[in-house]
């Protein structure tokens, strides 16, 4: 009799042929910290049906496999997925562990310490052919006043079941900004009559951790996610109730809104990963647009740092510029991987015309990042030269200070030596009869020492050679 293989043991076996799955084995073995949110959206074939999002508990996750016969598409949205729920969904839907690894493992550790994450271990051409999608992006965070982070480390983490790296940036106008990694993952499982779509989203980053104990509040920069759909007219907006506004601070809230208001488009065509990915990709491209504006702002910041070499430019700017160079390279890789995936899927689904504009936006963002990356690259060379000039100037200034201190010592040593000679006689003390003798001896001695220090003794060797 054979026992059923658990999902974590299945991942262990796959890790023998895919080393990038080893961190996922460790992740599945850890206890989860927070509750996950699970929403189910059922799309019926009937055009008169109404889409309703139902939130279920984690213990009811078995319901994702049981649905009404009239349901043609089931969308399962999971926010802040934990290790236990990941194993349960993986077993229920028979999901490739690489899908979960691409979502949970996003750290770019040194290659000598850990295997490459799936996003780097898989070549773009191979990743585009897979039936799932992991989209990695950067989101800009407002961490509050920069005074709070004076002695805080550069590397922070988000407070979630899948901790994301948050990088603390140089302060701007007294504000402390941060860059947080994010990931959105989706796959479509096709059966005879129903398509099951699994979407994994990160929760909003509301706190960041520095070490094990220090926690700091964090929010999205300037509020929620920008709406990209056609604006509502004033007449319609004036009659709209407050209940119709959605939570645009989280990706989960935005997706529930967009899927709910446009669910009819999913009834006219068979569900594919490309038809489902339109709204998530649009949301993520908005995050990339904010990121490019942030790079432009820091490009301006470093321009002023270089122009004010005395007060603002320091070695930390060189380190930050090097970080921005590596960050831009990784950003280009992420956008290229997304573009390759869309292009590959468009060959399979040529009727998806709206993706042409999406690809144009991706190319626009890539050009923007490339332009700012080249600008920062040039600043790095200039800043390095400026720091070297500044160090040379400091060395010259320090040499002048040392020379002044040497003259002070040349004056002080003869005076103290003469004072020690006359210290044994009471008649030579200040106010006594022979106190004038101290000055008559010490002052000529000081003059003699200064003359000897200024004498060009190096010329004596040349004079000796001439005589001989």
Give pLDDT tens digits for 333-387. Answer: 889 889 888 888 888 776 667 888 899 999 999 999 888 888 877 777 766 666 6
User: 362, 381, 406 — which closes off a domain?
Assistant: 406
Give me the domain span that covers residue 451. 422-467
Indicate whether 42 pLDDT > 60: yes
Measured CA to CA, the distance from residue 249 to residue 434 in angstroms comes to 89
- pLDDT score for 283: 94
- pLDDT score for 225: 85
- pLDDT score for 193: 75
Looking at the fold, whether 352 and 387 belong to one and the same domain comes out as yes
Q: Look over the chain and give the mean of its residue pLDDT values, rounded to a whole number.
A: 80
Q: How many domains does the chain have?
A: 2
Measured CA to CA, the distance from residue 279 to residue 263 in angstroms comes to 12
Do 228 and 257 meet the contact criterion of CB atoms below 8 Å apart? no
302: in domain: yes
| 173 Rama sector, left if φ>0, alpha if ψ -120 to 50, beta otherwise | left
Looking at the fold, whether 290 and 402 belong to one and the same domain comes out as yes
- Length of the chain equals 468
| pLDDT-based confidence at residue 206 (cuts at 50, 70, 90) | very high
For residue range 99-154, list pLDDT tens digits in order: 999 999 888 777 888 888 888 888 777 777 787 899 999 999 999 998 888 888 88
242: in domain: no
Looking at the fold, whether 395 and 456 belong to one and the same domain comes out as no
Half-sphere exposure of 19 (CA within 13 A, CB side): 7
Do 184 and 246 meet the contact criterion of CB atoms below 8 Å apart? no
292: in domain: yes
- pLDDT score for 79: 95
Looking at the fold, whether 360 and 426 belong to one and the same domain comes out as no
- pLDDT score for 241: 53
454: in domain: yes
* Pairing verdict, β 71-79 and 175-190: unpaired
- pLDDT score for 80: 94
CA distances from 89 to 55, 117, 196 (A): 16, 22, 12
Looking at the fold, whether 396 and 453 belong to one and the same domain comes out as no
129: in domain: no
What mean pLDDT is predicted for residues 433-460? 68
Looking at the fold, whether 351 and 430 belong to one and the same domain comes out as no
DSSP class of residue 172 equals B
Looking at the fold, whether 434 and 326 belong to one and the same domain comes out as no
Q: Give the global pTM.
A: 0.79
375: in domain: yes
- pLDDT score for 415: 67
Among the listed residues 186, 180, 185, the one whose alpha carbon sits nearest the alpha carbon of residue 166: 180
Residue 333's SS3 state is helix
Looking at the fold, whether 331 and 288 belong to one and the same domain comes out as yes
Looking at the fold, whether 308 and 400 belong to one and the same domain comes out as yes
Do 168 and 201 meet the contact criterion of CB atoms below 8 Å apart? no
CA distances from 328 to 11, 18, 284, 296, 360 (A): 33, 28, 17, 12, 19
Query: Which segment of 13-27, 30-44, 178-192, 243-257 scores lowest on mean pLDDT?
Result: 243-257
Looking at the fold, whether 386 and 296 belong to one and the same domain comes out as yes
141: in domain: no
Do 61 and 77 meet the contact criterion of CB atoms below 8 Å apart? no
| 184 Rama sector, left if φ>0, alpha if ψ -120 to 50, beta otherwise | beta
- Which tokens in the block code for residue 253? 């809230």
Indicate whether 468 pLDDT > 70: no
Looking at the fold, whether 395 and 453 belong to one and the same domain comes out as no
Residue whose pair of structure tokens reads 């773009």 in the numeric block: 124
319: in domain: yes
- pLDDT score for 262: 80
């Amino acid at each position: 009799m054979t026992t059923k293989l658990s999902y974590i043991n299945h991942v262990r076996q796959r890790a023998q042929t895919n080393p990038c799955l080893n961190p996922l084995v460790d992740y599945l073995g850890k206890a989860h910290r927070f509750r996950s949110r699970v929403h189910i959206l059922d799309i019926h074939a009937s055009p008169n049906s109404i889409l309703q999002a139902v939130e279920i508990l984690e213990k009811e996750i078995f319901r994702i496999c049981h649905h009404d016969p009239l349901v043609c598409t089931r969308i399962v949205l999971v926010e802040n997925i934990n290790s236990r729920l990941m194993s349960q969904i993986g077993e229920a839907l028979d999901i490739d562990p690489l899908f979960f690894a691409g979502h949970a493992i996003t750290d770019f550790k040194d290659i000598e310490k850990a295997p490459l994450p799936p996003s780097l271990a898989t070549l773009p051409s191979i990743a585009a052919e897979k039936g799932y999608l992991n989209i990695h992006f950067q989101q800009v965070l407002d961490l509050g006043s920069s005074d709070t982070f004076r002695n805080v480390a550069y590397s922070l983490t988000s407070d979630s079941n899948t901790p994301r790296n948050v990088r603390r940036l140089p302060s701007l106008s007294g504000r402390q900004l941060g860059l947080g990694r994010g990931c959105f993952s989706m796959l479509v499982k096709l059966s005879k009559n129903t398509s099951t779509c699994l979407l994994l989203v990160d929760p909003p980053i509301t706190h960041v951790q520095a070490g094990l104990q220090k926690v700091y509040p964090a929010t999205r920069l300037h509020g929620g996610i920008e709406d990209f759909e056609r604006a509502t007219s004033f007449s319609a907006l004036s009659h709209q109730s407050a209940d119709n506004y959605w939570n645009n601070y989280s990706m989960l809230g935005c997706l529930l809104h967009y899927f709910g208001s446009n669910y009819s488009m999913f009834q006219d065509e068979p569900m594919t990963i490309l038809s489902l990915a339109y709204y998530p990709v649009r949301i993520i491209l908005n995050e990339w647009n904010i990121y490019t504006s942030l790079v432009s702002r820091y490009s301006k910041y470093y321009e002023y740092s270089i122009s004010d070499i005395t007060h603002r430019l320091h070695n930390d700017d060189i380190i930050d510029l090097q970080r921005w160079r590596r960050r831009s390279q990784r950003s280009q890789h992420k956008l290229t991987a997304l573009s390759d995936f869309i292009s590959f899927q468009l060959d399979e689904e040529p009727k998806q015309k709206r993706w042409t504009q999406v690809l144009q936006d991706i190319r626009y963002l890539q050009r923007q990042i490339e332009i700012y990356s080249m600008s920062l690259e040039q600043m790095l060379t200039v800043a390095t030269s400026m720091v070297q000039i500044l160090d040379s100037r400091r060395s010259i200034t320090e040499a002048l200070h040392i020379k002044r201190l040497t003259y002070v010592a040349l004056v002080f040593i003869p005076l103290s030596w003469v004072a020690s000679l006359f210290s044994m006689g009471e008649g030579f003390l200040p106010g006594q009869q022979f106190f004038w003798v101290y000055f008559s001896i010490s002052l000529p001695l000081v003059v003699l020492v200064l003359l000897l220090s200024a004498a060009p003794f190096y010329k004596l060797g040349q004079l000796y050679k001439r005589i001989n």
